Structure 1
Amino acid sequence: MAKRVILLIGTKKGTFIAESDEARQDWSLRGPFCDAWPINHVVGDAATGTIYAAGGNEWFGPSVWKSTDLGVTWTRSGNGFNYAEGEDPVKSAWSLAKSHGRLHVGVEPAGLFVSGDDGENFEHVESLRAHPSRETWVPGAGGLILHSIVPHPDDPNELWVAISTAGVFHTADGGRTFDARNKGTRAGFMPEGMQYPETGQCVHCIVMAAGRPDRLYQQNHTGMYRCDDGGEQWVSIEEGLPSEFGFPAAAHPHDADTVFFIPLNGAIEGRYVPDGKTAVWRSRDAGSTWSALRNGLPQENAFFGVLRQAMATDNLDQAGIYFGTNTGTLYGSRDEGDTWGVVAQHLPVIHSVETMVIDA
């Protein structure tokens, strides 16, 4: 059956939706949706066609929007996004993951909420903020946010989350307890001799390898990493890359050894693509070697960045890969990064890009 490829785009001024057929040559664009609120993350459930968008700020408050008709109409709920009295209130909803009949939401200040009724009501997963390291969590440049949620595809009780700046945490018991999973990742901004703490790392993004739930890839403030044991031990895979610093990562949908990164030039050097020349870096061997993919991407005067949730792959046989910039351009490749083109431009700051493939 023919397929529809849908790109879900979260921006500073609402949600946008780009659509194409499986050839992925011509794209249509709709939006902005969600009343042009700041939207941090948009995801889709291909099984039902439902779209969820997380957003808000300290003025609007946190909310999750939902559309069951591919963006024609939307509902919004912030029910339950509350911490205990005396704690800083939840400012915004930051990240989403739908799995095993539950919708998980990461928020700012960092915490995890879950909905068992498809986004109508949300319940705080209190055990994460009860972790013994909680008092040491501090905001990164973007705030104290829970930005990555990685559910196990087969085990509904197992989940990884990442917080900037606190690190990676894992639960194997449905959220009753969490343990830190940061061994081997470096906190290079800490004094010498204190750069490998149990928690306190500035994780930028974690993604899961296809077909290997224990293999995770991580882009970090100070390094690129891989683990093959669910986060028990991370190893550096940054050799061959132009920088140790960057935000987004995307795993290939079928090949556990293929991963994509977009390094930036550094934390204090401007946070744009190195030398103003755009490249997505691809590894076909789990990070042992890297190649720069540049064909069709701007190679001069490109001083943009790409944010942590703004790169994704689709799941077609020859995977497409997409990324959005903080200057409002969305790029796409239909051949796993070998060649690139512009999908949309002149959008607001792009916070996130995700994909959904459904039957036409």
Structure 2
Amino acid sequence: MRELALLVATRKGAWIYRGDAGRREWSADGPHFLGHIIHHLVLDPRDRRTLLAAAKTGHLGPTIFRSTDLGRTWSEARRPPAFPKAAEGEMGRAVDHTFWLTPGHASEPGVWYAGTSPQALFRSEDGGETWEGVAGFNDAPAYRDRAGDAQDGTPDGPKLHSILVDPRDAAHLYLGMSGGGVHESRDAGLSWAPLIDGLEVVAGFDASQWAFHDPHCIALCPSNPDRLYQQNHCGIYRIDRPSNRWHRIGRAMPPGVGDIGFPIVVHPRDDRTAWVFPMDGTDVWPRTSPDGKPAAYVTRDGGETWQRQDTGVPPAEAWWTVYRQAMASDTCDPVGLYFGTASGSLWASADEGERWTPLADNLPPIFAVETAILD
């Protein structure tokens, strides 16, 4: 196997952890961009050399950094994601930060997508050097008038995330908005339609209105692109296309734990297997592990049952959580799983979650963890 890497984005910089073929020894490369907020760090799987980092810096503001030599050197994008300048007398929009990065389809080398706060979708066709807004989303009145409300209650602002590209069709895209629901395009972003049937909302809101939905993370199964899983503000869901209806599969989670959390990860070869990392979503939403006892939960039957996986993690008094981008899997056999915590610890399992071991501690709060295969 080629070298495995973990790409760790934090509140105060980024780290690259390189592992051996057995995933037993890891070495740290970093920090990169020390002191800057890094929301996402992603390797292009098409060339295995280009890294993009979504950064919010003190002097450059929101921007994208690029490396074509696996992080040895970096340069800023010539034109990072930004809204067009408003006409005189009109209220303009400004990108606060880029939150999510997704490489494009295998047939479109150089294409990337980015999701921002406030909620907007951007596309690059030159490997992240320059970015343009996806007009079919950003300028559509239905989205422009209702997406990106800075007062929607989302910590650090509303976010466009979970940009998914159907591996069979470059024109078939999904995205999530917190808040604002799940949306689908079948024409490369020219037009979009909500995909919210079956999803629940907070009591007192109208579930028929996409603006009231809050998907936390959406994952498409590589082995079966017609199956998607979702961790939502109001539960865990699965959808099997061509159906347009989501089914709440989190009801089978233990009642004392519940089915509220941020991340969801799917098995690279088995569409019946997925992992979540629940948090306490009761009352005032403390956003900690339930009862201070963190654990991953796995389903191996499409959500009919769930099993707790906590061997190796603190058994009690661990009051942290895992953010929506901060859990990932590799493609090894058995699958490796990784998560980073809001308190700055990085954890790994080389046996699909059965046993966890710490890889790093005392990092800044971890915003995102991605895996990559390096040349």
Length-normalised TM-score, structure 2: 0.91
Amino acid at match of 1:146: L
Distance between the aligned counterparts of 2:242 and 2:170, measured in 1? Answer: 15
Distance between the aligned counterparts of 1:189 and 1:324, measured in 2? Answer: 31
Gaps of 5+ in 1: none
Amino acid at match of 1:222: C
Alignment match, 1:48: 47
1:323-342 correspondence runs (5 A): 323-342=339-358
Alignment match, 2:193: 179
Q: Of 247, 265, 277, which aligns to 1:235?
A: 247
**Mapped contact 2:180–2:210 kept (Cα < 8 A):** no
Judge which range, 266-275 or 341-350, deviates more: 266-275
Distance between the aligned counterparts of 1:354 and 1:6, measured in 2? Answer: 8
1:89 matches 2:89: no
Distance between the aligned counterparts of 1:155 and 1:46, measured in 2? Answer: 17
Alignment match, 2:214: 202
1:299 matches 2:298: no
Q: Of 147, 150, 153, which aligns to 2:164?
A: 150
Deviation string 1:317-351 (CA, Å, 9 cap, x unpaired) is: 21100000010000000000011100111110100
Q: Of 273, 279, 289, which aligns to 2:289?
A: 273
Alignment match, 1:164: 178
Deviation string 1:287-340 (CA, Å, 9 cap, x unpaired) is: 111000011111110100111100000011211000000100000000000111
Q: CA RMSD in A?
A: 1.7
Amino acid at match of 2:93: D
1:222 matches 2:234: yes
Deviation string 1:245-275 (CA, Å, 9 cap, x unpaired) is: 2101111111111000011011524111111
Distance between the aligned counterparts of 1:96 and 1:148, measured in 2? Answer: 9
Judge which range, 50-59 or 215-224, deviates more: 50-59
Amino acid at match of 2:240: D
Amino acid at match of 1:6: A
Alignment match, 2:61: 61
User: How far is the alpha carbon of 1:35 from its aligned partner?
Assistant: 4.8
User: How far is the alpha carbon of 1:188 from its aligned partner?
Assistant: 1.7
1:315 matches 2:331: yes
User: How far is the alpha carbon of 1:57 from its aligned partner?
Assistant: 6.1
Distance between the aligned counterparts of 1:11 and 1:264, measured in 2? Answer: 20
Alignment match, 1:256: 271
Say which SS state the counterpart of residue 254 (structure 1) adopts. Answer: coil
User: How far is the alpha carbon of 1:135 from its aligned partner?
Assistant: 2.5
Number of matched pairs = 356
Amino acid at match of 1:270: P
Deviation string 1:151-170 (CA, Å, 9 cap, x unpaired) is: 11121111101011101111
**Mapped contact 2:154–2:179 kept (Cα < 8 A):** no
1:135 matches 2:134: no
Alignment match, 2:14: 15
Say which SS state the counterpart of residue 132 (structure 1) adopts. Answer: helix
**Mapped contact 1:147–1:161 kept (Cα < 8 A):** yes
Judge which range, 115-124 or 223-232, deviates more: 223-232
User: Equivalent pairs: percent with the same residue?
Assistant: 36
Amino acid at match of 2:174: W
Distance between the aligned counterparts of 2:211 and 2:238, measured in 1? Answer: 17
Say which SS state the counterpart of residue 250 (structure 2) adopts. Answer: coil
Distance 1:61 1:23, change over 3 A: same
Deviation string 1:69-104 (CA, Å, 9 cap, x unpaired) is: 221111111615222413220111110100222110
Alignment match, 2:371: 355
**Mapped contact 1:183–1:198 kept (Cα < 8 A):** no
Distance 1:78 1:91, change over 3 A: farther
Distance 1:262 1:131, change over 3 A: farther
**Mapped contact 2:80–2:129 kept (Cα < 8 A):** no
**Mapped contact 2:341–2:366 kept (Cα < 8 A):** yes
Amino acid at match of 1:243: G
**Mapped contact 2:63–2:80 kept (Cα < 8 A):** no
Distance between the aligned counterparts of 1:238 and 1:173, measured in 2? Answer: 32
Distance 1:231 1:63, change over 3 A: farther
Amino acid at match of 2:245: Q
Deviation string 1:169-212 (CA, Å, 9 cap, x unpaired) is: 11100111011111111112434xx2343442011000111221
Distance between the aligned counterparts of 1:216 and 1:351, measured in 2? Answer: 23
Distance between the aligned counterparts of 2:210 and 2:95, measured in 1? Answer: 26
**Mapped contact 1:216–1:231 kept (Cα < 8 A):** no
Distance between the aligned counterparts of 2:59 and 2:235, measured in 1? Answer: 34
Length-normalised TM-score, structure 1: 0.94
